[in-house]
Amino acid sequence: MDEKPKKRDKWEKISLVMQSSGGLLTALTVAIIGLIGSSYLKDRELTENRHREKLQVEETNTRIYTELISRREESESALRKDMFVSIIQSFLKTGSSSLDERVLNLELLAYNFHESLNLKPLFIYLEKQIIASGDRTRQEYLERLYKVATEISRKQMLVLEGAGRKTDRDIDIDSLARNPGGIALDAATLTLDGITRQFTIYVQEADKQTRQINVRLEIKTQKDDNVNVETSNAEFWVGYFDFPMIDNTRLPGDQRVAIVLNAMEDGYASITLAYFPGAYASLKEKPYYQEILQNLKKTNEKLSEQAP
């Protein structure tokens, strides 16, 4: 009879301990949660501050970099302007200058402004002056003239090849004498930006003295999976002084095609046909407004297709 009260006393003690420690545990839990929350908030604040400082540093660096680039471009533009004016004046001045000086000035002009200026008339003008000079070293000056021209064409072709398509063809010039109507080179089918065109070059005449060839270019544009084909033609002379970014034929869809004369000697000629976007033409070749609107429409359609 005496053991039962003892058991009740033990449980009562345990209950009392639990009741008294429950408040302590609650207080400890609240304190721990508060510490964790405070630590989290501090870490978050530090992270946000670091992120904000990083953004400020990046913005400052970007602004400084942009200002430096802008100033450098202004300095380069001013230098190029002074160079251009000085070189052009050397060709226009009434005083005589040596062939070496004139060739050098043309080299400077071509290497620095070949992407924005049509230098063909100046090349032809200086070529005629060299031939008419009677200078015993005139062949040397002509070779310098042809060398700078081929180098400019090569530089421009490196850019155009990366953005478009090209094909090379060899021409047997001596065979033109046996074919008065001209010779047809193998056709080339090239695709650019979803537009497939077939290019056929007809060599009609060759001038060995001026190192030029007369060609007729036939262009067939494939439409509707070969069901409909649109044909256009262009006829022109091609020489060393025809640079592809400047001397090219405009095609529908803001595209261009150009033919470059790589070499012409000993009854042989080598040419390259370049098919490239209109955006890579020279600065003076601006697209028509209709072409700009068509390009914007195509870009919007592509973005709509890519949107989820």
- The pLDDT, as a whole number, for residue 235 is 92
Domain annotation covers residue 255:
yes
Split at pLDDT 50, 70, 90, the class of 9 is low
Domain annotation covers residue 15:
no
Domain annotation covers residue 92:
no
Contact 262, 271 (CB under 8 A): yes
Indicate the average pLDDT of the chain.
79
3-state helix, strand, coil in the chain (%, to 5): 55, 25, 20
Report the predicted TM-score, pTM, of the whole model to 2 decimal places. 0.65
Domain annotation covers residue 145:
yes
Domain annotation covers residue 169:
yes
User: What is the span of the domain harbouring residue 137?
Assistant: 99-294
Q: Which two tokens stand for residue 6?
A: 């003892």
The total domain count for the chain is 1
Domain annotation covers residue 82:
no
Tell me 307's DSSP state: -
Secondary structure (DSSP) of 256-276: EEEEEEEEEETTEEEEEEEEE
Residue 236 in this model has a pLDDT that exceeds 80 = yes
Split at pLDDT 50, 70, 90, the class of 7 is very low
Domain annotation covers residue 71:
no
Per residue in 147-197, pLDDT (tens digit) is 999 999 999 999 998 889 999 999 998 888 888 888 999 999 999 988 899
Question: What length does the chain have?
Answer: 308
What percentage of the chain carries pLDDT values higher than 70? 74
Per residue in 196-235, pLDDT (tens digit) is 999 999 999 998 888 899 999 999 988 766 556 778 899 9
Per residue in 100-156, pLDDT (tens digit) is 888 888 888 888 877 777 888 888 988 888 888 777 778 888 889 999 999 999 999
**3-state secondary structure (DSSP) of residue 181:** coil
Q: For 49, phi and psi rounded to 5 degrees?
A: -65, -45
In whole angstroms, give the CA distance from residue 48 to residue 42: 10
Domain annotation covers residue 18:
no
Taking residues 279-288, what's their average pLDDT?
A: 64
